[in-house]
Chain A
């Protein structure tokens, strides 16, 4: 059983549409991160959220950490083909061990 479950697993949308990816757990995390990974490359850190209820914006991307620090969401406004990739949430549970989610593969068509 994965500690961090992401949904949806796959998402295929047209350019200009909005989307939300969810990352859920029954456990509390001290911090949550979101990464994007493209084929042939390692994950690239997009954002870190550390406070329950925290919202961070990165251009068209909005990240939220749940009040109870058990879940997070990533919202993309007006998706572009360049947003295509594997989106991974990951969290720390008071240790040095980074736990990754199951991943959401996003495809944005022009």
Chain B
């Protein structure tokens, strides 16, 4: 059984640029949730995708957008990058729209300069 994978591992972008992060869910899982974890803090929920539809969103501006594909992999897109967007971006997969058990990937470390 393949776990949750994310790419790239690290990324450096300039303020104002756009970025796309990718996540492959664990085999058999149809739900992907994205989180932002600033240094030294707990993860903050960005949004969740269930069967290719957005299924809940946290307090993040519209420049954070996402997509889920028929194979349940997912993308997180961030436009007009700001310095405060520098963080570890985690995705987690689960089975079902509301599941107690989420399995996290290793994250993508984004640095905005």
Contacts and interface: CB of A to CB of B under 8 A. Distances in A.
Interface residues of A, number: 26
Given A41-B106, A97-B58, A48 B101 contact: yes
Interface string B22-56: 00000000000101000011111100101000011
Of the listed residues B42, B45, B106, the one surrounded by the most CB atoms of chain A closer than 10 A to its CB is B42
B100 A92 contact: yes
Given A42-B92, A42-B106, A97-B56, A90 B42 contact: yes
A85 interface: no
B100 A96 contact: no
Interface string A14-51: 00000000000000000101000000111111001010
Interface of B: 4, 33, 35, 40-45, 48, 50, 55-56, 58, 90, 92, 97-98, 100-107
